Structure 1
Amino acid sequence: MLRTLNRLLLALLGLVLLLLGLSALVGALDLPNRWGFGMPSGWAWSRPQEVVLTGADRTQWRDQGWWWPVVIGILALLTLLALWWALSQLRRRRAGELAVSGDESTDRGPGAVLRGRALEQVMGSEAAALDGVSRARVTLVGKRTDPSVRMRVVLDEHAVPDEVVHRLETEVLEHARTSADVGELPAEIRLSSVRHRPSRVN
């Protein structure tokens, strides 16, 4: 969904910039006179000495009380949308599905895919069932052909972090690599401990 939205926004922005650039080029080079064609009626930017907005156009709404709040509101909204869009590009995309390579010894075809959510749930349940793990959350990120794993694991008080990490690598991640039929599955594991509220002793 995000990839489609990005393409649509980039295509729309590119089209608008292209039209503005061509309009500026036509007016600045005085192409209507040189090449003998006319511009649409009401077109204000067809000669080198003309401007896009005249002084009257720029100042006609200044006396209205709603003008500046509307302008500032629109600019603020556009700024927020641009920031959201930029931040969404920096964030690694979640893998919606994984490409599974075909194998003649199995029933899977060469175009088989594995749902990312399903693998996340299985890995999270398996990780949470390990001794010393209170909760686990797994997220698949990256491309469908080059996925990686982010794990957030909450440890019990009696847990030994080294042992938990070792079992996550040798059991949970190894099972995921086998089931997804991927050679490599890089993982980032973040550990935290359970926090208990202090209790008052009378």
Structure 2
Amino acid sequence: MLKVVNRVLLGLLGLGLFALGGGVLLGGLDLQRRWDFGMPGWWPFRGPDDVVLGTEGRTRWRAEGWWWPTVIAVLVVLLVLLLWWLLAQRRHRLGGVLVRSGDGAAARLDGRALEDVIEAEARDLDGVARAHVRLTGRSTAPAARVRLVLEPRADPARTLGRLSGETLAHTRESADLGSLPSKVRLEEVRHHARRAD
């Protein structure tokens, strides 16, 4: 539910900003006159000489010492809230995985510990120089994002097959997960050339 509300709010905010920006662009480029169409009577930007905040609006509160600091503070708070909202959209690391036994008992397995185990097993695969694993999703339905850095001698198809058939399969079995959807990214290790003197 929260995800749906979040997407609706982001969509409405984006649509509003798009409409506002498009309207200002139409006025700034004087497209109403060039293309011979009219804007609604309440729209303030009718031509390239119109401004967002006119002289009267800028000077009305000049005598009040609190006005401009308040405006700037509100804009800064709004900017911080929007940045926080943007950063909150990133996928977060899964804190734990719910493991159920055959008799119905449940335990919570630490997500970082499980990531470390998968990473260690992936590093032991032939041709893998480094591995990084991040678990995402829900505690009852985790997903894995795996990044492997391969040595030049590694066979990517074979390494991917062993990762899927051994490492991730072992994780599914040991945590009694029905499935563990995974996205795997393969990279080649980069060696920096050294100059010989």
Relative to the length of structure 1, the TM-score reads 0.62
Does residue 74 in structure 1 map to residue 69 in structure 2?
no
The Cα shift of 1:80 comes to 2.5
Amino acid in structure 2 at the alignment position of 1:168: L
State the identity as a percent: 49
SS in 1 for 2:130: strand
The aligned length equals 140
Provide structure 1 residue ranges, at least 5 long, that are not aligned to the other structure. Answer: 4-58
**Counterparts of 1:61 and 1:117, CA distance in 2:** 55
**Residue-by-residue CA offset, 1:82-141 (whole Å, 9 max, x unaligned):** 2322441x322321111112213xxxx622121111100000011011111111011100
Q: Which position in structure 2 is the counterpart of 1:93?
A: 92
Question: After the TM superposition, which residues 18-97 of structure 1 pair with which residues of structure 2 at under 5 Å, given as runs?
Answer: 62-64=62-64, 67-88=67-88, 90-97=89-96
Moved over 3 A (4+): 59-62, 64-67
**Residue-by-residue CA offset, 1:143-195 (whole Å, 9 max, x unaligned):** 00111000111111111111111111011100110111001000001111111
Amino acid in structure 2 at the alignment position of 1:189: V
**Counterparts of 2:82 and 2:165, CA distance in 1:** 43
Q: Which position in structure 1 is the counterpart of 2:194?
A: 199
Amino acid in structure 1 at the alignment position of 2:90: R
Q: Name which of 124, 131, 149 aligns with 1:129.
A: 124
Amino acid in structure 2 at the alignment position of 1:146: A
SS in 1 for 2:134: strand
Question: After the TM superposition, which residues 94-109 of structure 1 pair with which residues of structure 2 at under 5 Å, given as runs?
Answer: 94-104=93-103
Rg comparison, structure with higher value: 1
**Counterparts of 2:109 and 2:79, CA distance in 1:** 38
**Counterparts of 2:106 and 2:62, CA distance in 1:** 61
SS in 2 for 1:185: coil
Amino acid in structure 1 at the alignment position of 2:188: S
Provide structure 2 residue ranges, at least 5 long, that are not aligned to the other structure. Answer: 3-58
